[in-house]
Amino acid sequence: MPKALRAALLRFYDEHARDLPWRRTRDPYAIWVSEIMLQQTRVDTVRRYYDRFLERFPTTTALARASEDQVLSAWSGLGYYRRARLLHAGVREVVASYGGQVPADAQARRKLPGIGRYTAGAIGSIAFDRPEPIVDGNVARVLCRVHAIESPLGRADTEALLWQHAGELAKGPRPGALNQALMELGATLCSKRSPRCEQCPLQRSCLAHAQGRAQELPVPRKKTPPKAVQWVAVAVLDDTRQSVVLSRGQSALFGGLWNLPMREGSDADAAKQLLTELGVAARLSRQPLGRLEHLLTHRRLQVTLFGAKLSQLPTLPTLRLLPASGLADARTQVGVSTLTRKALAQVFRT
């Protein structure tokens, strides 16, 4: 069965693969960048960032030499910023330990920061033509339907079975194309809600289709709805209202990015306490400037936005007074979170 599946998948890929920029290269660094960007992010979104990021950091050496601010600035708007920081750390390790060349050895790749089994397999199969499997959401959906896997996604036995099937398919010619074919099929025809079984190259081998259960499989993992959390944010402006105080905390929710001072809370007292904790002397407005909502993977932030006039800013590496002009723009050269850009846009509308 794997031989027939492989042949059908490769034919499908050769005839129907989308023309995506990261499919025009065998450079392991460029493939690494694309795979990190594509984690939990739509292809159309990544298209807007991928070429621009590689133009700015065309090699491992260029990225390794960049500051964290420069990297997060280029990543700003993609979300899940921990990915960018781990990519940066991983590339620095490649430059320090491997002369800037992404290692061909799978175990060496797996030891790099931010590279797990999936990313290692993508780089290994696509860049180095090695029979290394991958399992992401699209691949899992295809394999669950083809093999009628009834156990829920995310469970240890389900994951083991998926990687076993993916490993069997990766053995043979063109493992990179084979893996991309699985992803392409899951992203296009074998979709989550409306699988187009009549057009699927695996229709004859698919147990879910034969059993009339394509809509039922895979069995989803149990999801916890995002928790609503009340936050306050403070826009501290200087006398001219031309500059704003931003803070950065490595362990904060937006660690590594520059943000308006923020913390949990819902009123002016919480905002005042926040400024006191940071050591920022400012005259706080007791009435909020506005409210906004920001959705993260596990949290729904309901943010009350306050304004303040700066009196004195302590000299700390985690606090900066920056020109407000341009900070609400995703193209800014400072790594600023999307939430802060949204809040600043609201500040300067009032």
Q: Is residue 318 part of a domain?
A: yes
Q: Are 241 and 275 found together in one domain?
A: yes
Q: Is residue 215 part of a domain?
A: no
Q: Are 279 and 253 found together in one domain?
A: yes
Q: Is residue 220 part of a domain?
A: no
Q: Is residue 222 part of a domain?
A: no
Strand-strand pairing, 299-312 and 227-237: parallel
Spatial distance between the Cα atoms of 52 and 4, rounded to a whole number of angstroms: 39
Q: Where are the alpha helices (DSSP H) in 259-323?
A: 268-278
User: Domain boundary residue among 151, 183, 210?
Assistant: 210
**CA-to-CA separations, 279 to 39, 239, 273, 314, 336, in angstroms, rounded:** 38, 18, 10, 6, 21
Q: Are 313 and 238 found together in one domain?
A: yes
Q: Is residue 274 part of a domain?
A: yes
Q: Is residue 57 part of a domain?
A: yes
State the chain's mean pLDDT as an integer. 91
Spatial distance between the Cα atoms of 254 and 263, rounded to a whole number of angstroms: 11
Q: Are 165 and 276 found together in one domain?
A: no
> Which token pair is 153?
């996604």
For residue 223, what pLDDT is reported? Answer: 79
Q: Is residue 217 part of a domain?
A: no
Q: Give 248's pLDDT tier (boundaries 50, 70, 90).
A: confident
In this prediction, residues 194-204 reach a mean pLDDT of 95
pTM of the model: 0.77
Q: Are 69 and 137 found together in one domain?
A: yes
Q: Is residue 319 part of a domain?
A: yes
Q: Are 196 and 247 found together in one domain?
A: no
User: Domain boundary residue among 180, 210, 240?
Assistant: 210
User: Domain boundary residue among 177, 210, 243?
Assistant: 210
For residue 218, what pLDDT is reported? Answer: 96
Tell me if the bond preceding 218 is cis, omega within 30° of 0. Answer: yes
pLDDT digit string, tens, across residues 127-158: 999 999 999 999 999 999 999 999 999 999 99
Domain span at 278: 227-347
Contacts of 107 (CB under 8 A, 6+ apart): none
Residue 68 has pLDDT above 50, yes or no: yes
In this prediction, residues 116-129 reach a mean pLDDT of 97
In this prediction, residues 269-282 reach a mean pLDDT of 93
Question: Domain containing 321 — which CATH number?
Answer: 3.90.79.10
Q: Which of 15, 35, 132, 293 is catalytic?
A: 35
Nearest alpha-carbon partner for 252 in 342, 340, 341? 340
**Which of 191-195's residues contact partners 24+ apart within 8 Å by CB, and which partners?**
192/141, 195/145
Q: Give 170's pLDDT tier (boundaries 50, 70, 90).
A: very high
Q: Are 288 and 206 found together in one domain?
A: no
Question: Is 35 a known active-site residue?
Answer: yes
Question: CA angle 199-201-202, nearest 5°?
Answer: 115
Q: Are 156 and 290 found together in one domain?
A: no
How many domains does the chain contain in total?
A: 2
